[in-house]
Amino acid sequence: MKTAALSLALISTAAAQGATYPDLPVPLKNGVGGLIGTTVYAGLGIAGQKFYAMDLSRPERAWTEVAPFPDAARDQAAAAAVNGKLYVFGGLGKSTPDATTALFNQVHVYDPVTNIWTLLATRAPREVSGGAAVTQGDRILLFGGVNRNIFDGYFKDLAAAGSDKTRSDAVSLAYFTQRPQDYFFSRDLQAYHPATNTWQSLGVVPFSGRAGAAMNLTGTTLTVMNGEQKPGLRTAAAHQAQVTPAGVTWRDLPDLPPATAGQVQEGLAGAYTGHSGGALLLAGGTNFPGSTAQFARGALYAHEGLTKTWHGTVYALRGGRWTVAGQLPQAQGHGVSVQYGDELLLIGGETTGGAASAKVLSLRLQDGQLQTTD
């Protein structure tokens, strides 16, 4: 099927090419992943401590289980690959089965040559749980994430409330009725240098802190798209920076447009992102329709009474302008984005209702055509 606009090739795991991109052995959402050479890695999140690898250069592609993550299972960590190793930062979870949900601030590295994980003797200056990481040369850039004291405090208060519903409802009400800035989501752009195990501040961004934002780096161009500005409230804003040895300079991009004219774009959390066909893609994600209007009317508990919604729209950014490029086969978000040549791989995620997916999709803009191969 041809279109006059940008086009998107969606190659699903059920494609005519058979097991070109086989399903993961287990469902995966809120996990991490990365590409080392021609091998893609994915794990954590709902997969627990399990990690898997697939060599994309092999004629018969298949996932194989590698060494499990050596620490407590965790959601919403950040990960990036540098010099043949995969680095995993932070995340949230329980240190023991009986512990209260809390943030981790550790850094682990996986070496595929030895198939060994190592806990590094360092901590991120700012927590990155719910944040994002990208590779620039021999360093990793990290942005966003929730605040440890506020996040941990909320779950401690819930645990203290126990089965007392009146008390637990009061804890949740107090937590959700705060201004965006009162959650202290991270606004710091950090750089981690694996070779020296050191950190570098790249400054504070000129926009609000985010959790669940999509982040992409192409050359020296860093793009931060959407995300939560507070629990339950997304933003449609997008921003772009040039990250060079001379420093970091930011500019605002146009807001993400609505998928359909006349609708309100609530913004997206947990969207996939990557490049194809000369455009930057943003696909899928979740939000709470109506939260923007409720917040504008002064309701700090912006998503109260609203339903979390999963989306399948694919947007393309080219020449500083957003367009709707197409639709995913199903609405989904909160999976792993991996760039492989001119393809964007969407690994796992969650679908409508929060069900975890094991599917692997490949997105590609190609020759002015919108193609779906099955």
Instruction: Just list the catalytic residues.
Output: 228
How are beta strands 233-234 and 228-230 bridged, if at all? antiparallel
Backbone angles phi, psi at 163, to 5 degrees: -90, 5
Degrees to nearest 5, angle at CA 327 with 321 and 328? 125
Q: Which residues contact 238 (CB under 8 A, 6 or more apart)?
A: 223, 224, 225, 226, 252, 253, 254, 255, 256, 317, 322
Pairing relationship of beta strands 9-11 and 371-373 according to DSSP bridges: parallel
Q: Distance (Å, rounded) from C-alpha 71 to C-alpha 279?
A: 38
Residue type, 78: A
Which residues are 200's β-sheet partners?
191
The dihedrals phi and psi of 143, each to the nearest 5 degrees, come to -145, 145
